[in-house]
């Protein structure tokens, strides 16, 4: 096997720019690879953790939801409570969006549960949002609109956790 080559600490700022750039180019796998290289050198780098969470959840839309547990665990490494809640909300929101794309019988119920969970995280984040940052409200509203648009609702037959 190959031994991965480490980055120098001096190259981290440029690598973060590249990670963001690859996300914007819809290349989340490349962005996540860069973030992992950064975190090998600087395990506490908050931007790299956030970008990695986003890069992992960017891939949910392609059906690759296997990284959801890793993304949730990465949220615990974020130092600010607001960011922990906000990014957990994003993970749940994107999981809901991915669930909507499935053609399984309970997909809409599962999507609803993910969106509601996302809304709970966004609501908690909004309570402690930084000044002039109402991103959590924007995300909460987007989830509410998605639920309305797709006429999503809780499963009528039981209260079990669907995911």
CA distance 31 to 51: 8
CATH classification (class only), 80-157:
mainly alpha
Position 158 scores a pLDDT of 60
In sequence order, the 6+-apart residues with CB closer than 8 A to the CB of 83 are 46, 50, 75
Predicted TM-score of the model (pTM)? 0.92
Position 161 scores a pLDDT of 54
Count of CB atoms situated within 10 Å of the CB of 150: 14
pLDDT above 90 covers a percentage of the chain that reads: 88
Position 12 scores a pLDDT of 98
CA distance 62 to 101: 9
**What is the rounded average pLDDT for all residues in the chain?**
94
- Predicted confidence (pLDDT) at residue 51 exceeds the cutoff of 80: yes
pLDDT tens readout for residues 103-132: 888 999 999 999 999 999 999 999 999 999
Q: Taking the domains of the chain in order of start, what are their residue ranges?
A: 11-77, 80-157
What's 150's DSSP letter?
Answer: T
């Amino acid at each position: 096997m190959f031994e991965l080559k480490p980055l120098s600490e001096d190259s981290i700022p440029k690598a973060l720019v590249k990670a963001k750039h690859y996300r914007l180019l819809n290349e989340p796998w490349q962005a996540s690879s860069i973030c992992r290289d950064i975190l090998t050198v600087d395990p506490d780098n908050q931007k790299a953790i956030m970008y990695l969470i986003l890069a992992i959840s960017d891939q949910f839309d392609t059906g690759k939801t296997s990284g959801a547990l890793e993304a949730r665990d990465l949220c615990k490494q974020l130092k600010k409570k607001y960011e922990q809640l906000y990014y957990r909300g994003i993970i749940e929101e994107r999981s809901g969006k991915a669930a909507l794309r499935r053609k399984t019988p309970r997909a809409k119920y599962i999507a609803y549960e993910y969106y509601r969970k996302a809304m709970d995280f966004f609501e908690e984040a909004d309570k402690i949002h930084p000044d002039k940052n109402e991103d959590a409200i924007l995300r909460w509203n987007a989830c509410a609109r998605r639920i309305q648009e797709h006429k999503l609702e809780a499963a009528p037959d039981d209260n079990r956790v669907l995911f």
